[in-house]
Structure 1
C-alpha cells in the first residue's frame, strides 16, 4: 500500500437507553477531539503498527470513550472514498459494537457521550453514513440471528425485550409475538423466575434469558424486516 495512504478504524457502538418521554431508544457513542469543537466523531483512529483491526478498535474505544466492555463487535464495511478525509487519503475499516442495557457505560470524560440515533449532533465527514449503515446492519441481523443478546440484560421480561427490539428496529414490537418467534427458534429460554411487579400492580412478569451469548443464525430464511 502506498505510504500516502493511512488506515483507520471507526466503531459505531450502540446501546438501548432511556430517553425521557420517548422511552427506550437506540443510542450511539460519540466523542470529540477537543472541548471547543462542535463536531462529534465515532471513536477510532489510526491502526497501530502491531494492531489487528479489532484490537485497534477496542483500544480506541477504551482511550477515547472509557469503554472496555463490548458484548459484540463485528466488522461493518470499508469506506475508501479518496476525498473522505481532507489533506491525506485515509481508508476507514468500520465496526459495529453492541453494549447490553444493564452494563454501565457512561464515559468518565466530557469528551465522549451517548446520543439518540434519531437526534445526532453534527458529525465529522462520513461518520453519519457509518452510523446509518451500522443501524441497518443491526436491524437486519435482528431478524435472522440472536444478536439481541448483546443489547439485552442477563435476564429480562418479554415486555423489556420487546422495548429493546423496538428501539433497535425503529418501530413497536409486540411482546407476545416476539416470545412466540424467539421461543420457536430456540433463541430465548424461560428462567423459572419472575421479576418485579410494575407500578400498576398485577402478576410479576416471567423472566427469560438468551440461550446463547455468541452470535448465531437462527432463521436463514427470515426477511430483513420481520413481522414482529
Structure 2
C-alpha cells in the first residue's frame, strides 16, 4: 500500500479571454498527451502530511507563498489508481492573488470552471470539487479570504475575489457591511489608484488577522455554481 499527498492549490487570477478574476487551480503533467494531475507525491519518511505537502509544492512547483493549508479529505477507493493500492491524503492550499508564481515546465494554472473531468487523471476532478466546496463553505463563517486576497485591497477588488471563489457576483456594499460587523476587515487609511473610469480613489482595506479564525459559526453561503 502506498500513501500519497495531493494538494488542491487555488489562486484568484485574471483569466482569458476577458481578463476577469477567476478561481484557478494548479495542475501539472509529465508530457502533453497525459491528463493533468494535482501536484503531490509520496509522504516523506520523517515528515507529517502537511510538511510533505508544503515541501512538494516548493520543490516541484516552486510555489512558496501558500498563505493557508489545511487537510481536505482522504480518498481511499481500492481502484482509484491502477497498480499498487494508493491512498491519497489531500490538502487545500490558498495563494494570494498578488503572489507571483514562476512555475516549472509542465505546470500551469487552470481556470476551475473551464476544466472537464476528462482533462484530469484518476479521481482528481472529485478532489478539486471537494476543495472548492470546502473553500466556499469557509468563506461563510471564517476569514479564510485573507489567504486569497492581496495584502491591501479596495472592497470592489475583494468582492471579485469572493465572487470568483463562489461562482456568482458578490455585492461590494453588502460584503463590506458583513465583514466590518464581524471585525474581519479594517480600513488602512490609505487610498488606491483611480480606475479607468475616473472618480475618487478607493479606500484600501486589509484583513484584521492573517490566520484562520471563525467569525460566524452559523453563517452559510450558496455553494459554487
Aligned length: 220
Runs of 4+ residues over 6 Å off in structure 1: none
CA distance in 2, matches of 1:82, 1:106: 36
Residue equivalent to 2:45:
49
Structure 1 residue 23 corresponds to structure 2 residue 20: yes
Q: TM-score, normalised by structure 1?
A: 0.94
Q: TM-score, normalised by structure 2?
A: 0.95
The one-character-per-residue Cα deviations of 1:167-198 (angstroms, maximum 9, x if unpaired) are 00000000000000000000000001110000
SS of aligned partner of 1:76: strand
User: What is the deviation of 1:225?
Assistant: 2.6
Structure 1 residue 196 corresponds to structure 2 residue 193: yes
Residue equivalent to 1:145:
142
User: What is the deviation of 1:22?
Assistant: 5.5
CA distance in 1, matches of 2:19, 2:128: 20
Among candidates 216, 221, 224, match of residue 219 of structure 1: 216
Which deviates more, 138-147 or 120-129? Answer: 120-129
Instruction: List aligned pairs for 1:91-106, cutoff 5 A.
Output: 91-106=87-102
Structural RMSD (CA)? 1.2
Among candidates 114, 127, 133, match of residue 119 of structure 1: 114
SS of aligned partner of 1:143: helix
Among candidates 159, 162, 168, match of residue 162 of structure 1: 159
Structure 1 residue 81 corresponds to structure 2 residue 77: yes
CA distance in 1, matches of 2:83, 2:28: 22
| Structure 2, gaps ≥5 residues long | none
Residue equivalent to 1:7:
3
The one-character-per-residue Cα deviations of 1:22-71 (angstroms, maximum 9, x if unpaired) are 60000000011x23433110000111211110111111112221111200
CA distance in 2, matches of 1:204, 1:69: 29
The one-character-per-residue Cα deviations of 1:77-132 (angstroms, maximum 9, x if unpaired) are 0000000011110000000000001110131x221100000112611100010000
